[in-house]
C-alpha cells in the first residue's frame, strides 16, 4: 500500500495499489523481456536468397546446428534497445547524488569539440606528422594539469582512476628498484576510509597493505602514521579531500614524515574537484596523484569507460613515468614511444590514452579558464554545504556540524529504532525519481549516506532534492514504515537480491527447454 502519511496529498492522487494492467506495462514504463525471449530463430530482418549449391572450404569445421540467434523485425529490434536505453538513470535525466563518484553535467560544447573530425577520426597508428594538432592538444592539456597541481610532469595514458593508481604505484616501485631498496620497502600504508581501489592497487602491484586508522573526527592524523613508518615502508596512499568529504588538514605534516622515512606520498586525487584552484597537491608534498578527468573535468563516466586518469608526478618520480609521452622538437611535437634508453617503467596502454576525453577535458578547462575552474570547486563545496545545512536538523552528521568539502556524509544514527534502514531510505528515493546517494560507504561510518551534488546543479534543483529528502525524513519520524519497507513501489523491478546477483551472476541465457533438462539431469 502506498500509504504515505507524511506526504502531501495531491488532488487526484491515487492512494491505493495501482490497477494491474494486461501488458504489465505501467503507462510509458514498458516491460521488456530478454531479446532471446522475444526473438524467433526463424525470423530475419533481411531478405537474402538461399545461396546456390556450393562446397564449403572449411575442412569440416562448418556449423552443424542452427546458430540460435534471436530473429526480430527491424522495428522490434529497434524498440527493444530503445526501451532498454530508457531504463537507464542518467545525469542527463536527473540529479545524481552519488558521493565519491562526481557525476556532473557533461557540457555539450565539449561533446561538439570531441566530435570534430580532426580529433574523432585520428588513428593511433597514423604517422606523427599527420597528427601534430592532436599531439599538441595532449601536450596543452598536460600543461594545464601540471600547472593546476603544481607537479613536475604527467603521464597521460592511464584510462581510469584505478588505472592511474596502478601507474603511480608502479612508478614508485620503479623508483624504489632504482635505489636498490626493492627487497626492503614492501609496505604501502592505506587509511581505513580509503576507496577500495587503493588497497587493491597496492596489492596488485605486489606490495603488502597496512591499514592506518582514522581518527574520531574522520581524518588521518600524523600521530597515527608516525608509528607505522620505517625503512620497510614504500608509500602511503592518502585521499584528499578524503572519502568522508573532509580535508586532511595534517597532510603537510604527514608528507614530511613519509619523506623523512624515505617513502613516497601517493595522493588519490579523485576529489580534486573540491580543491582545484585553491590548493596545489605539489605544494602539499604529494609525489604522485591521479586525476579522474570524469570527476573533475566533466568528461562522461559512460558506464565504466572510456575514461582517463592522468597521473601527475613529482620531481622524484618524473623520470619513471611510462611511455608514451609527448616532447617538443622545436615547433614539432614528437611522441616518445620506446622506453629503451629512458627510466620509464614501461607502458600502461597499447596506444596513447583516451583522445576523446582529452579533447573534452581541455575544452572544459579552456571554456572555464583558471578562475572558472576555481569557482567550479567553490560551487561544488557550497552545494554540498547547502545540502548539509538544509538536512542536518533531521539526518545525523557523524562528524558534527562542521563544514564539509565537495560531499556531505550522513550516518544512520537518526534511523535508530525507526525500523527504517539506510537501504530502505535509499530505495524510497527511487520512487521519488532520484538515483540514491552512495550508501554504506565509507565504511568508517555506520549506515553511511554520502551525497555529492556537484557544482552543476541549480539552486532550484537542489531545493527540490532537499525538499524530497526532508519529506522522506518526516515520514521516517512519523513512523510511516510502509513507505520504506517495500520501496521501490514504482520501479520496474522491486528489490533484487543484490548479494546473490553479485556472487552468482547469471550472464548466459539458456533456452527454457535446455534449462529444464539440466535441472532434470541433476
Ligand X SMILES: *Cc1c(COP(=O)(O)O)cnc(C)c1O
Lookup result for grid cell 603544481: 150
Q: What would the grid cell of residue 81 be?
A: 534497445
Would you say how long the chain is, in residues?
A: 522
Q: Which is nearer to ligand X, 97 or 309 (CB)?
A: 309
Q: How many angstroms separate the CA atoms of 366 and 357, rounded?
A: 14
Q: Which is nearer to ligand X, 199 or 309 (CB)?
A: 309
Least Å distance between CB 308 and ligand X?
9
Element containing residue 381 per DSSP (H, E): helix 355-391
DSSP character at residue 212: E
Determine if 267 is a binding residue for ligand X (CB under 6 A): no
Lookup result for grid cell 564539509: 404
**Using the rule CB under 6 A, which residue among 113, 214, 270, 275 binds ligand X?**
270
Q: Which is nearer to ligand X, 126 or 249 (CB)?
A: 249
Give the residue among 288, 293, 321 at the shortest CA–CA distance from 308.
293
Q: Which is nearer to ligand X, 455 or 480 (CB)?
A: 455
| Contacts (CB under 6 A) with ligand X, residues 309-368 | 309
Q: Which is nearer to ligand X, 444 or 472 (CB)?
A: 444
Least Å distance between CB 89 and ligand X?
18
Determine if 431 is a binding residue for ligand X (CB under 6 A): no
Q: What would the grid cell of residue 422 be?
A: 539506510
Cα–Cα–Cα angle for 67, 72, 76, nearest 5°?
150
Per-residue x/- track, 166-205, ligand X (CB under 6 A) = -----------------------------x-x--------
Q: Which is nearer to ligand X, 284 or 473 (CB)?
A: 284
Q: Is 371 helix (H, G, I), strand (E, B) or coil?
A: helix
Least Å distance between CB 161 and ligand X?
2
Asked if 296 and 276 count as a contact pair (C-beta separation under 8 A), the reply is yes
Least Å distance between CB 462 and ligand X?
21
Give the 3-state DSSP-derived string for 169-200, with helices as H, strands as E and coil as C. HHHHHHHHHHCCCCCCCCEEEEECCCCCHHHH
Least Å distance between CB 159 and ligand X?
8
Q: How many angstroms separate the CA atoms of 12 and 518, rounded?
A: 51
Q: What would the grid cell of residue 48 be?
A: 537474402
Of 66-74, 156-164, 347-355, 389-397, the window that binds ligand X (rule: CB under 6 A) is 156-164
Q: Which is nearer to ligand X, 195 or 219 (CB)?
A: 195
Least Å distance between CB 378 and ligand X?
20
Least Å distance between CB 228 and ligand X?
21
Question: Which phi-psi region, left, alpha or beta, contains residue 307 (left: φ > 0; alpha: ψ -120 to 50)?
Answer: beta
Q: How many angstroms separate the CA atoms of 318 and 171, rounded?
A: 8
Residue 8 exposure: Cα atoms within 13 Å on the Cβ side: 6
> 98 forms bridges with which residues in the sheet?
451
Determine if 383 is a binding residue for ligand X (CB under 6 A): no
Q: In what order do the strands lie in the sheet with 408-410?
A: 408-410, 449-451, 438-439
Determine if 285 is a binding residue for ligand X (CB under 6 A): no
Q: Which is nearer to ligand X, 301 or 427 (CB)?
A: 301
Element containing residue 209 per DSSP (H, E): strand 208-212
Tell me how far the alpha carbon of residue 120 is from its chain's centroid: 24
Q: Which is nearer to ligand X, 153 or 197 (CB)?
A: 197
Of 159-167, 223-231, 277-285, 498-506, the window that binds ligand X (rule: CB under 6 A) is 159-167
| Contacts (CB under 6 A) with ligand X, residues 220-259 | 239, 243
Determine if 457 is a binding residue for ligand X (CB under 6 A): no
Least Å distance between CB 192 and ligand X?
13
Backbone angles phi, psi at 347, to 5 degrees: -140, 155
Asked if 394 and 478 count as a contact pair (C-beta separation under 8 A), the reply is no
Q: What would the grid cell of residue 235 be?
A: 608509500
Q: Which is nearer to ligand X, 237 or 476 (CB)?
A: 237
# of chain residues touching ligand X (CB under 6 A): 13
Of 138-146, 158-166, 214-222, 248-256, the window that binds ligand X (rule: CB under 6 A) is 158-166
Determine if 292 is a binding residue for ligand X (CB under 6 A): yes
Q: Which is nearer to ligand X, 214 or 473 (CB)?
A: 214
Helices (H) and strands (E) counted in the chain, each on its own, are 18, 12
**Using the rule CB under 6 A, which residue among 268, 424, 431, 457 binds ligand X?**
268
Backbone angles phi, psi at 384, to 5 degrees: -65, -40
Least Å distance between CB 301 and ligand X?
8
Determine if 307 is a binding residue for ligand X (CB under 6 A): yes
Determine if 162 is a binding residue for ligand X (CB under 6 A): yes
Q: Which is nearer to ligand X, 164 or 398 (CB)?
A: 164
Determine if 100 is a binding residue for ligand X (CB under 6 A): yes
Determine if 161 is a binding residue for ligand X (CB under 6 A): yes
Backbone angles phi, psi at 475, to 5 degrees: -60, -40
Of 65-73, 157-165, 175-183, 337-345, the window that binds ligand X (rule: CB under 6 A) is 157-165
DSSP character at residue 347: B
Residue nearest to ligand X (CB): 161
Q: Which is nearer to ligand X, 193 or 363 (CB)?
A: 193
**Using the rule CB under 6 A, which residue among 160, 254, 311, 348 binds ligand X?**
160
Give the residue among 382, 400, 467 at the shortest CA–CA distance from 433.
467
Which chain residues interact with ligand X by CB under 6 A? Answer: 100, 160-162, 195, 197, 239, 243, 268, 270, 292, 307, 309
Amino acid at each position: 500500500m502506498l500509504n504515505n502519511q507524511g506526504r502531501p496529498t495531491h488532488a487526484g492522487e491515487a492512494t491505493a495499489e495501482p490497477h494491474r494492467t494486461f501488458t504489465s506495462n505501467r503507462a510509458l514504463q514498458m516491460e521488456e523481456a530478454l531479446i532471446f525471449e522475444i526473438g524467433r530463430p526463424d525470423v530475419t530482418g533481411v531478405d537474402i536468397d538461399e545461396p546456390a549449391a556450393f562446397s564449403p572450404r572449411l575442412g569440416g569445421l562448418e556449423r552443424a546446428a542452427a546458430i540460435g540467434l534471436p530473429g526480430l523485425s527491424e522495428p522490434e529490434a529497434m524498440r527493444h534497445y530503445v526501451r532498454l536505453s530508457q531504463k537507464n538513470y542518467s545525469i542527463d535525466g536527473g540529479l545524481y547524488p552519488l558521493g565519491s563518484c562526481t557525476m556532473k553535467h557533461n557540457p555539450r560544447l565539449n561533446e561538439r569539440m570531441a566530435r570534430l573530425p580532426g580529433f574523432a577520426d585520428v588513428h593511433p597508428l597514423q604517422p606523427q606528422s599527420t597528427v601534430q594538432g592532436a599531439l599538441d592538444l595532449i601536450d596543452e592539456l598536460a600543461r594545464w594539469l601540471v600547472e593546476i597541481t603544481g607537479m613536475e610532469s604527467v603521464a597521460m595514458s592511464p584510462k581510469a582512476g584505478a588505472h592511474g593508481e596502478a601507474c603511480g604505484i608502479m612508478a614508485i616501485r620503479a623508483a624504489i628498484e632504482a635505489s636498490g631498496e626493492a627487497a626492503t620497502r614492501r609496505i604501502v600504508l592505506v587509511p581505513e576510509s580509503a576507496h577500495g581501489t587503493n588497497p587493491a592497487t597496492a596489492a596488485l602491484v605486489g606490495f603488502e597493505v597496512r591499514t592506518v586508522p582514522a581518527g574520531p573526527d574522520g581524518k588521518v592524523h600524523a600521530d597515527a602514521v608516525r608509528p607505522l613508518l620505517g625503512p620497510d615502508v614504500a608509500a602511503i596512499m592518502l585521499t584528499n579531500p578524503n572519502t568522508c568529504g573532509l580535508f586532511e588538514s595534517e597532510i603537510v605534516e604527514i608528507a614530511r614524515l613519509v619523506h623523512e622515512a624515505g617513502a613516497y606520498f601517493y595522493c588519490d586525487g579523485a576529489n580534486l574537484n573540491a580543491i582545484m584552484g585553491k590548493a596545489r597537491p605539489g605544494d602539499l608534498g604529494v609525489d604522485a596523484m591521479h586525476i579522474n578527468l570524469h570527476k573533475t573535468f566533466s568528461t562522461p563516466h559512460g558506464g565504466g569507460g572510456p575514461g582517463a586518469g592522468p597521473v601527475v608526478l613529482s620531481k622524484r618520480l618524473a623520470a619513471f613515468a611510462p611511455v608514451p609521452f609527448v616532447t617538443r622538437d622545436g615547433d614539432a611535437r614528437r611522441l616518445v614511444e620506446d622506453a629503451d634508453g629512458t627510466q620509464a617503467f614501461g607502458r600502461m596502454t597499447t596506444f596513447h590514452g583516451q583522445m576523446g576525453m582529452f579533447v573534452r577535458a581541455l575544452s572544459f578547462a579552456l571554456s572555464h579558464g583558471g578562475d572558472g575552474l576555481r569557482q567550479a570547486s567553490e560551487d561544488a563545496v557550497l552545494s554540498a554545504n547547502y545540502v548539509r545545512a538544509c538536512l542536518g536538523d533531521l539526518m545525523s552528521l557523524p562528524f558534527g556540524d562542521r563544514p564539509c568539502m565537495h560531499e556531505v556524509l550522513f550516518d544512520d544514527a537518526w534511523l535508530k529504532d525507526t525500523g527504517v534502514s539506510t537501504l530502505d531510505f535509499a530505495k524510497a528515493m527511487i520512487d521519488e525519481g532520484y538515483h540514491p546517494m552512495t550508501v554504506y560507504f565509507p565504511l568508517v561510518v555506520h549506515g553511511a549516506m554520502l551525497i555529492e551534488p556537484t557544482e552543476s546543479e541549480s539552486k532550484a534543483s537542489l531545493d527540490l532534492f532537499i525538499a524530497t529528502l526532508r519529506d522522506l525524513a518526516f515520514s521516517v519520524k512519523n513512523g510511516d514504515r510502509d513507505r520504506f519497507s517495500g520501496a521501490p513501489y514504482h520501479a520496474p523491478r522491486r528489490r533484487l537480491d543484490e548479494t546473490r546477483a553479485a556472487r552468482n551472476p547469471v550472464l548466459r541465457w539458456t533456452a527454457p527447454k535446455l534449462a529444464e533438462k539440466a535441472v532434470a539431469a541433476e
